[in-house]
Amino acid sequence: MNGNRTAYSVVEPSHITKRIAGSIVVAYAMLTLIPLVWIVLTAIKSPPDSISYPPKVIPWVHFEPTIEGFCNLFTTRSRQTPEYLATLPPARGICESQARAKNMVVVSESKYIPRFLNSVIIAFGSTALAVFLGTLAAYGFSRFRVPLKDDLLFFILSTRMMPPIAVAIPIYLMYRELGLQDTRIGMILLYTSVNVSLAVWLLKGFIDEIPREYEEAAMIDGYTRLQAFRKVVLPQAATGIAATAIFCMIFAWNEYAFAVLLTSGDAQTAPPFIPIIIGEGGQDWPAVAAGTTLFLIPILVFTVLLRKHLLRGITFGAVRK
Amino acid sequence: MNLLPSSASLIEKAARATPPSFVGKVRGLSDKAIAWIFIAPTLLLLLAINIFPLIWTIQLSFTNYRANRPNAPLRDVGLAHYNEILTNPDIWAAMQVTARFVIASIVIQTVLGFLLAWLIDRKFRGSGFLTTMILLPMMLSPAVVGNFWTFLYQPQIGLFNYIVAFVTGIPPSSFQMLGDVNLSPWAIVLVDSWMWTPYVMLICLAGLRSIPDYIYEAAEVDRASKWRQFWTITLPMAMPFIMLAVLFRGIENFKMFDMVNLLTGGGPGSTTEVASITLKREAFEKWRTGYSSAFAIILFVTVFGLANIYVRALNRVKSR
């Protein structure tokens, strides 16, 4: 439909309509992006600049950008007396010198990197599992007559309707019994079970679109069903599998409710960790903003990659373009 | 054999010509076996991590079990928890807060989302790029971004208060979005709408684009006014999509936890204490596991029931 409307079409919006519509949407987009821009700007401010009134907006004009926020994100520091600082050898690295300028020394690395790595491991692990299981099940549902197919598919979807806190109560008890509390493997299994419903529904849609004739032809040529699945269906579904994987990844990356209730240390992911980054005397907003920025960048990249499949992903495959 | 027409006949012919064991070896596993081997792992995982815990929750809801005292003697309390929850005014207050939150956010997001979709469907230059930009907030972690909103909402230093003060002229420290009993529910609705209006917009846009041009052309020929075209063509034809968006947003917002937990934690007092927050308090702060299990079951039945009624309504609209 896009682009093939002709100039003389009676339904083509007039130039004025387009101009007005365009301006309103641009205004909305600008308004809605302010919080995101503010996250990035806060990340490169010093703590006093970040809470100044009126707000400092333009870097190098209103405030001098600094990597202090990132230093504070990655390190823990402690305040020392000038006499003690004078006895220390010269500072190594930017973060150390930044700290020295404030009468502090870097004590250790912060927990941000381990938490971020937990997010990466859990997101990748659960995505790989969910997509693997989802692809098999989707193929099963798409190509074979399964008894109670509609009921099973609805059951798979309905597991996603449960409030996470309600699910967390028995999971908490179960994981305590099994020793899976605060473990990456426990979180991977949990996120897999949430994501697999999305994966089955999305992938079933993608596989339904691959003509059955391809496999039939391959099977007539002597492929077994499994070979046909591997060598014909999987390559055809590659785009759909990739899109599904990104959706699963985004869910696992963003998830908070299970993470905050079921992890506290070793397996804690970034979302429950970022809100509790504190500095001297309350929340260290540049550090929080720096942590948030780093955490959001992968999602921004994924969103741009996914934009053609977004609609399908967010509606469980109910709406296709 | 439950196969596709052409290959089915082929296999049937082969099956009749050769002994079954030989067919099995040549063609690999039977289709039925493959179907179950493919589907079973997913079902088993869901049984282990969703259904088994659900059954356990139901069982716990009839007991006085407390997760922080696993060795205390277990007593069967029958339906006492359910009775207590359904007659507890605090629970009803939480349900009311949830309902108000769900309704307010859905109304705002649907109106705004549909309007945006309608504007974007005017197909001005750059609408594709702008759509992607507008969609960004909904992809982000509600917890992490919601947490940052508490900074924007700070009375003196927050950007939100500054902008409101700049536009209206009232002092920026004269109102507290998160600390005020009247404003805090709206603070949450605002962040939720900021995140999820794009979601409704995207689904509505698909609905608008599904309406073929020739219907509008026919309406033009019949000299129907633009206003009339909107009410008799655009809105009815986009309705199934709008309803779908409302369904998804309704379920998600009913379960809402992350954003509220980080923005207000249910406060001030209990003005923003939605059902999930109450549940978290009962289950993981007061450790009344049996009681909160009963509440969890009630919540689940509510979501499930509402979703079912809604899906039925949706199908009626679709078939119209």
What does the H/E/C string look like for B64-78?
CCCCCCCCCCCCECC
Question: What is the phi/psi pair of residue A129, to 5°?
Answer: -65, -45
B positions 195-224 inside 8 Å of A (CB)? 198-199, 202-203, 206, 209, 213, 216-217, 220
**Residue B317 pLDDT:** 66
Q: What is the 3-state secondary structure (H, E, C) of A274-295?
A: HHHCEECCEECHHHHHHHHHHH
3-state secondary structure of A284: coil
- Lookup result for tokens 């509600």: B142
- Cα distance between residue B132 and residue A93, in whole Å: 39
- Lookup result for tokens 């509510």: B302
Indicate whether A150 and A227 sit together in one domain. Answer: yes
Indicate whether A135 and A252 sit together in one domain. Answer: yes
- Chain A residue with CA closest to B229: the answer is A11
**Of A24, A144, A314, which has the smallest distance from its Cβ to B31's Cβ?**
A144
- Tens of pLDDT along chain A (321 residues) come to 444 444 456 677 788 888 899 999 999 999 999 999 999 999 999 888 888 888 888 888 888 888 888 988 898 888 888 888 888 888 778 888 888 888 888 888 888 999 999 999 999 999 999 999 999 999 999 988 888 888 888 888 887 888 888 888 899 989 998 999 899 999 999 999 999 998 998 899 899 989 999 888 998 888 888 888 999 999 999 989 998 999 899 999 999 999 999 998 889 999 999 988 877 667 889 999 999 999 999 988 888 888 888 888 887 777 776
The set of residues, in sequence order, having a beta carbon less than 8 Å from that of A215 and lying 6+ positions away, is: A143, A223, A225, A228, A229, A232, A233
| Nearest CA-CA partner of A314 in B263, B205, B12, B161 | B205
Q: Where is the domain boundary, A80, A110, A140? A: A110
Indicate whether A69 and A198 sit together in one domain. Answer: no
CB B147 within 8 A of CB B141: no
- Cα distance between residue B204 and residue B207, in whole Å: 5
Which of A135, A142, A194, A256 should we substitute to test contact with B (largest number of B Cβ atoms within 10 Å)? A256
CB–CB contact B45 A192 (8 Å): yes
Helices B184-209 + B89-120 axis angle, to 10? 40
Q: Where is the domain boundary, A110, A138, A161? A: A110
* Residues facing A78 on adjacent strands: A105
Here the ipTM equals: 0.86
Contacts of A203 in chain B (CB under 8 A): none
- Lookup result for tokens 């006499």: A83
A-B CB pairs within 8 A amount to 310
Which of B60, B85, B102, B141 should we substitute to test contact with A (largest number of A Cβ atoms within 10 Å)? B141
- Lookup result for tokens 């994987």: A245
Our count of domains for chain A comes to 2
Indicate whether A63 and A143 sit together in one domain. Answer: no
**Of B10, B143, B254, which has the smallest distance from its Cβ to A256's Cβ?**
B143
CB–CB contact A161 B284 (8 Å): no
A66 min Cα distance to partner chain B (Å): 19
Which DSSP category does B211 fall into? S
CB–CB contact B293 A169 (8 Å): yes
CB–CB contact B216 A11 (8 Å): yes
Helices A285-306 + A15-43 axis angle, to 10? 140
Which CATH code is given to the segment(s) B80-319? 1.10.3720.10
- Chain A residue with CA closest to B40: the answer is A137
Q: Is residue A37 part of a domain?
A: no
Indicate whether A84 and A132 sit together in one domain. Answer: no
CATH code of the domain in which A261 resides: 1.10.3720.10
∠ Cα B32 A128 A290 (to 5°): 155
| Nearest CA-CA partner of A296 in A48, A13, A37 | A37
CA distances from A239 to A100, A192, A245, B75 (A): 51, 20, 10, 54
Q: Does the structure show a pLDDT above 80 at B22?
A: no
Whether cis (ω within 30° of 0) applies to the bond prior to B268 is yes
**Of B50, B202, B213, which has the smallest distance from its Cβ to A310's Cβ?**
B202
3-state secondary structure of A239: helix
Indicate whether A299 and A156 sit together in one domain. Answer: yes
- Lookup result for tokens 């917009």: B201
CB–CB contact B53 A254 (8 Å): no
